[in-house]
Amino acid sequence: MSTLSFTSLGAAGTVTGSKHLLQRDGATILVDCGLFQGIKNLREANWRPLPIDATAVDAVVITHAHLDHTGYLPRLIRDGFRGPIFMTPATRDVAEIILRDSAHLQEREAMLANKHKSTKHSPARALYDVADVEQTLSQIHTRAAGKSFAPIRDVRALYRGAGHILGAATLEIEWGGVTVAFSGDLGRYDDPLMYNPEPIPSADYLVCESTYGDRLRDAADPAIELGRIITATTDRGGTVVIPAFAVGRTQMILYYLWTLKRAGKLPNVPIYVDSPMAINAGELMRTHPAAHRLDVAHTDDMFSIATYVRDPEASKAISADRKPKVVLSASGMATGGRVLHHLAAFAPGSQNTIVLVGYQAVGTRGRSLADGARYLKLYGEWIPVSARIENLHMLSAHADADELIRWMRGFAHPPKRTFLVHGEPNASESLRHRLDHDLGWPAVVPHQNQLFELP
């Protein structure tokens, strides 16, 4: 009987591309199947073959729907994977929105590259297309949290709530007498929309995210901070642009704006949600009411405060309008999408404010803004940034270092070993030190494709 092994094919030394391989007796399970995002050398990794053939993967188990955890699935399908894909029901519905959008972007980028002859490859091709997404959706099997299931024969798996976004889950896999727990991405405690991450009683090994492993978030009230920024900006005659992740962050910001409006503390200016994907994701809060804290009446009331924009021409009209307003638009790291033409329109104006509301990966425009860039490259041109930049770390959907430790204290016994993934090197190493100092747990930060045996 062979030993269970673990290998991170992604999210090792970086926050993107989550792919974690478990292998035993010739069988293979892939936990998460994410796309690399950010700097060019990471994006190029999406085109390199995995160290394992797609046809050799027996099952994929997904923790949540974000692109860096699901976005490589259609490529795995294109390369020949035909096994089952497991996820929670809400994750399945969110993933459909995200993957369809990703496929359209892949196809559009390839089309533009061919049109402008801006590619080394002739012709440029999409990493995957809508047909690959349709095949992916046909292979998904949903499993509810709290009920054991078998991804493959002789393996037991169990989801528990992780907070973070709609449908997100932690995962336990018991295989050959060894239990491996995966945190996925953990949400925050006392989040007004998502439930607290549930504790895992025990596991032999733990694979834990470390996105904010080196920092504690500002304890300031997010609603008060948003109110302060919007009031100051609109008093100057400016517009507030919020690059917001379509799933999770857009709905969270709407919640805080709704609480401000109910308290009479929000300026009377238009609020636009300019993201078809965010609009669709918001509808899923109605479809899956048990997956979050708000009841139907409060959900409807919250969504009523904004104008929702699907039409591209209406989106362009928002950019052309110089009257004070609040614009929420994807993507959250300003890597693409409609937020780019809003940034092109409003970043040069000193009366305007750009608000960052989540983790900004290295190599993204959001990270450049967070680091104080005075110019942004948009549509092939360098656009000056004179707008004020506000970075509200407390609005991120990830647990901070204290919250990660709090969640790990829920284990009745320390795992034999903890693997820290999904973090930049400083964050992962800082959390490893805290695990040693605060909990006395042995931990390691894996390198990509590094093999570990789990006896």
pLDDT, tens only, 244-301? 989 999 999 999 999 999 999 999 999 999 999 999 999 999 999 999 999 999 999 9
| Gap between the Cα atoms of 359 and 212, Å rounded | 9
Q: How confident is the model at residue 66 (pLDDT cuts 50, 70, 90)?
A: very high
Confidence (pTM): 0.93
Residues in the chain: 455
| 116 pLDDT tier (thresholds 50, 70, 90) | low
Please report which confidence band the pLDDT of residue 119 belongs to, taking 50, 70 and 90 as the band edges. Answer: low
- The pLDDT, as a whole number, for residue 188 is 95
Q: What is the CATH number of domain 222-395?
A: 3.40.50.10890
Cis link prior to 329 (omega < 30° from 0)? no
Question: pLDDT of 315-329, one tens digit each?
Answer: 999 999 999 999 999
- Give the integer Cα–Cα distance in Å for 347 and 240: 10
> Where exactly does CATH 3.60.15.10 map onto the chain?
4-215+397-454
**How high is the pLDDT of residue 109?**
78
pLDDT digits (tens, 9 = 90+) for 341-353: 999 999 999 999 9
Q: Judge contact between 244 and 256, C-beta under 8 A.
A: no
Q: Please, which residues have CB within 8 angstroms of residue 364's CB and are 6 or more apart in sequence?
A: 37, 38, 333, 334, 335
Structure confidence at residue 120 (pLDDT): 66
Range list for CATH 3.40.50.10890 in the chain: 222-395
CATH number of 4-215+397-454: 3.60.15.10
129: its two tokens? 């297309």
Q: Which two tokens stand for residue 218?
A: 């500002």
Calpha distance 76→81 (Å, rounded): 6
Q: Within a 13 Å sphere around the CA of 200, how many CA atoms are in the beta-carbon half?
A: 31
> What is the tens place of the pLDDT at every residue in 366-412?
999 999 999 999 988 999 999 999 999 889 899 999 999 999 999 99
pLDDT digits (tens, 9 = 90+) for 150-195: 999 999 999 999 999 999 999 999 999 999 999 999 999 999 999 9
